[in-house]
Amino acid sequence: MAEEIDDSEFYRENFSADSDWEVFNAQLGEILQKWDCAESDVGRSLKSEEIFRCKWKVEMETLDMLKNGIEVEYHQAILEDEELTKEEITENPCLQRTNCHHDLISNENSFGPPIRSSQDLHILARIYGLRRFIVLHPVNPNLNYMKSTSEFNFFLSAVAVVSAEVQSVVPIFVQIYDPKWNFYTGVALAPGLRTNFRLIGLEKAPSECRFLMGLLTLFREKVPTSYSQAAMISVCTTYALDTMRIRMPMYVPFDRGLSSEDIVVDGEVSPLELQQFYALPHGYTPESCTEIYLVYTWPELSEHVAFDSEQRTDFVPSKAPLGKIYLSVEASSYLSCCLRDYQHVAGVTRSLESFVGRNFSGTSSGAEAGSNPLDRITEHKLTTRRDRPYELPSQAGLTKRLPGPMTESELSELLAYLFPDMHPEMALFPYAKKSFKDKFDPMRIKSAVPNSLVCRLSCLLATCHAHLGSVEGMAQVWAAFTRQLRLLWDNSLTVPGVSAGFPDTRTCLLHQKLQMLNVCVKRRVQREANSKLKSEGMVRKVSSEEEEDDEEDEGEFFDCDDLTAGSGAPTKAVLSLKPEGRLSRLNNERLLEEPEEYIYVPQTQEPVPKTEDQLQDDAEVMLKLGPGSGLTTQMMCTSLLSDMEAFKAANPRGIMEDFIRWYSPKDWEEVTDELGEVKHQLSVRMTTEGNTWQKVWEQAQAVPITRQKRLFDDTNEALKVLHYMETRKMHEIYNLTIVPLLHSSILKLIDILSNADVEDLFCSQIERLLTDLCRLSRSHSDQLPPIKPLLDDLAELERRFYQFKCFERLSGYPKKSSLRQVKLQFEEILRNENCCTIVNRRLTAAGDGTLYDVLIPKLEQDMADRLISKDYIIRLDGDTNSTEKGLYLGPQFMRAIVTGEKLRLCGAFTESTAFV
């Protein structure tokens, strides 16, 4: 039986198939060739702290290895003027040196800021100062990281083989162990050289390894060959001063209790000062603070010059050639929090009625004011009140029966802020009578005049949403606001705090709506006054005729008031040549066909005001109807027809040419005929066949404005505005008010900076905020662009202001330094990413040492306790003038980071491969 069974098939192994290691090498080699890692690697030297300030380019690829795959990342610094100059080429004759060698030896990027900036710089760039490198790590390193020696050797050997095959000169690292430990191992190849990178960490290091003398001994043991020259040392010590807190308490306008922040926080109270009142909160949260670090650096020393051991050290702040201060601020402003909270209203699609109920305006309920309906019929007209400058209407029921978190008295206080003339007993902030042209440029931000009704309402809604009842409180305020508008309209009173004139399309839509309501009120008052005067004049005329004529004769006259109401169609023209509706004579111009008669300017109806949304609706209708539609012509020529009819009534014997001479003088052209005589004629656009002007002239009848239908129905338009206000949903209210709110927030921040006399420090940030807001306010899209970037910039500006106040206190202002000195040093902090130089002994003019004199006594009291880290870098380089392969020994690099008893060693040791 045993002879019949051939079991060789069970043990046969196919050695021709590619192994996982070979497949991985092939994939990695393709990626390295794709990234051009074998290209010429000779670039210029790095500038001081350049890798910490420049932008980085990161490319990623994923390989199918292990359980979740391996991710390959290529980090490359984007440098300006990366090509070498002729001088640098002559200074670097060694062909074996690569950018990796230059970066390891260079001391320009030895120590970065102790504070991590917003740009997340990779830890390998901070440790070794490399301008480009590649990192391999599992796709999900937190769940599936490398932890066995076999895995380390698998990937490290693959990296070395692939680098040699594709002649890559870019350092390649493999991340090992838990990612939070930041352990890497890597290799970098060059012609005849190999640099091995290793990182280790000790929780409790030997005492001799925490000082320079012991580290030098360890470094010499690790160097693979002997060097004739001395090693160069770079040292950085970091001290932490006490965390500074300045308490700027919360202030919430119209709040009873919240403004008195009862939280006990260490730090001196420094309330913010403002010149102008804004209905927005300000102040900073109790957790706001600024951490202060002092960093002293010895950029380059010989190993024989410095001494540092457990018994004695030369690395003390008073001997440091370079000292810097870093400020790390964590500050949150109540203003920014309020704006971020208000942003959530953009997603609330509930209607206003769902919060305050139906008929909240009181238009449909007969018992809204709690009075007898017969009283409304017999109520005395308000026209007799207008003899006084401003008569207050009844406020009964204005704030009653509005569901919401605020009481009637609280709501009345808010309305007194919005309508101070209506609540003189409670008004604390009346509207300014002067013009705001010097503070507001409507050609920039599509908002409203600062401190106008629109800005006050926008700020009040945001504050109510954040501190006075959330969305319910905001809906309650908006409902009370619309009630107040209807009350003003019913009593023929204009809305205060709104710019005069027609709706200005350079402002926001809410401001245009209120302007339209004011125009309606003024037209209504004027119409009623004219009607009353005409009625009184006609009554006097009839009574005088009755006194002269004893016979009772029923005289028949035309009731202008009823016709002016514009409810019906235009009345037919009276077929007579009696002129009507003349305003004034047009200079000495005479009619062309009747030279003996002058041309008279007719009384015309005032232009029709329209808001931005109405103009857009008209444009869409005309676009849908097309240019040849009769309805389109009628919409465009309504005002022209009215003016032509008024002109015919004032000039019965006039022709179209006479009308053009008054209405459009540019179309009455002066020409010279063949005989040289000067004549006048209509322009080409007026004489074209089928001209709209000619058609309208033929349709026009001689009808004065007293008998014309009103072009603008003020009652109907006012009711449209009120209905528009009362039917807005919450997200629509947000869209109407967000731009004025952001504008007011920026103006409030400018006011705070101006009172602190630091507006000049942040002028560029303020200008950028205003420019971004202008772009956002004039967006042509239906949906509002995202405002998060603008809110982030606003919060950053507030954070910088808190940082300045802390730095001002740290500098000893006003006793030990002047405001000018503080501002000069803070400008350097703004330029250098939270860093300011306090001592620089390498410069002959060291600058102002005021801050250094203030900080050194604080540091010397408990220097050992304030020391948080020591950073040593030991470098050794070979003969860079050698041009033959194998004579250059390469760079040797070791970095030791000492924090208390912990030690982290980062080595990059180069060995020759010329004779291997």
pLDDT tens profile 454-508: 999 999 999 999 998 899 999 999 999 999 999 999 999 999 999 888 999 999 9
pLDDT at 271: 82
CB of 88 closer than 8 Å to CB of 44 = yes
Instruction: Give the percent of the chain with pLDDT over 90.
Output: 43
Predicted confidence band at 448 (pLDDT cuts at 50, 70, 90)? very high
Phi, psi for residue 62 in degrees, rounded to 5? -120, 135
Weakest mean pLDDT among 737-746, 837-846, 857-866: 837-846
pLDDT at 381: 40
> pLDDT tens-digit profile of 553-573?
433 333 344 333 333 344 444
Phi, psi for residue 326 in degrees, rounded to 5? -120, 135
Pick the residue with more confidence: 365 or 203? 203
Smallest CA-to-CA distance from 263 within 243, 241, 282, 288 is with 288
pLDDT at 377: 41
Rounded Cα distance, 646 and 703, in Å? 6
> Residue 373 burial (CB < 10 Å; 0-12/13-18/19+)?
exposed
> pLDDT tens-digit profile of 265-299?
555 678 888 888 999 999 999 999 999 999 999 99
pLDDT at 343: 94
Buried b (16+ CB within 10 A) or exposed e, 172-199: bbbbbbeeeebbbbbbbbbebbbbbbeb
Instruction: Say what the pTM is.
Output: 0.80
Phi, psi for residue 837 in degrees, rounded to 5? -80, 130
Instruction: Give the percent of the chain with pLDDT over 70.
Output: 79
pLDDT at 740 over 70: yes
> pLDDT tens-digit profile of 92-118?
555 567 889 999 999 999 998 887 654
Q: Which two tokens stand for residue 116?
A: 């991590």
pLDDT at 890 over 90: no
pLDDT at 556: 38
Q: Which two tokens stand for residue 91?
A: 């200074």
**Secondary structure (3-state) at 36:** coil
Buried b (16+ CB within 10 A) or exposed e, 218-242: bbeeebeeeeeeebbbbbbbbbebe
What average pLDDT does this structure show over 708-725?
Answer: 91
pLDDT at 555: 37
Pick the residue with more confidence: 263 or 156? 156
Phi, psi for residue 233 in degrees, rounded to 5? -115, 140
Predicted confidence band at 9 (pLDDT cuts at 50, 70, 90)? low
> pLDDT tens-digit profile of 409-433?
889 999 999 999 888 877 788 888 7
Predicted confidence band at 389 (pLDDT cuts at 50, 70, 90)? very low
What average pLDDT does this structure show over 303-309?
Answer: 90
Smallest CA-to-CA distance from 799 within 807, 810, 811 is with 807
Rounded Cα distance, 27 and 32, in Å? 9
Weakest mean pLDDT among 552-556, 797-801, 883-887: 552-556
> pLDDT tens-digit profile of 320-344?
899 999 999 999 999 999 999 999 9
Mean pLDDT for all residues in the chain: 82
In this structure, the strands spanning 246-247 and 268-269 are parallel
Type of residue found at 144 = N
Spell out the residues 6+ positions from residue 199 whose beta carbon is closer than 8 angstroms to its own: 127, 182, 183, 184, 185, 904, 905, 906, 907
> Residue 312 burial (CB < 10 Å; 0-12/13-18/19+)?
exposed
**Secondary structure (3-state) at 678:** strand
Predicted confidence band at 907 (pLDDT cuts at 50, 70, 90)? very high
- Could you give the angle at which helices 470-490 and 408-418 cross, rounded to 10 degrees? 60
Q: Which two tokens stand for residue 846?
A: 């060291």
